Structure 1
């Protein structure tokens, strides 16, 4: 038994279908060019001078502590820290 579905291009003319596929291909092409350019920019970059994987477990624990405690929010502004805690931990 076949499932009942609607037609994909119900009232769209053949010209409308062609325009749809042309615009879809153009959008995919623009996306692909953007991804390519981003990877090219990453490939041209210099090596990172900061050792980001140095003491990774300690850095993860420090980041989790900062996020879960709102430490930096309270250091800057007490009221902002309290409101941020209400938003973060509220239901």
Structure 2
């Protein structure tokens, strides 16, 4: 980004923010769909059963924790690569 002027830097940052939001919304939508498919089985009532609600909460918690752990590992790997000189400006 050093070779970009201020307007280009703002545009780049804006595009990155939109991309990150899109990726987050895609991940969130997939998680909701997966948990719904796995947990909701009774369509005879408009409310969730206790079992469905418990299943959904566990499913969402598990997905969020696994996503958080993956992000942590990615950051650890990225930091290690930066330290070893494998990643970074050339």
TM-score by length of 1: 0.41
TM-score by length of 2: 0.42
Q: Which has the higher contact order (CA 8 A, sep 6+)?
A: 2
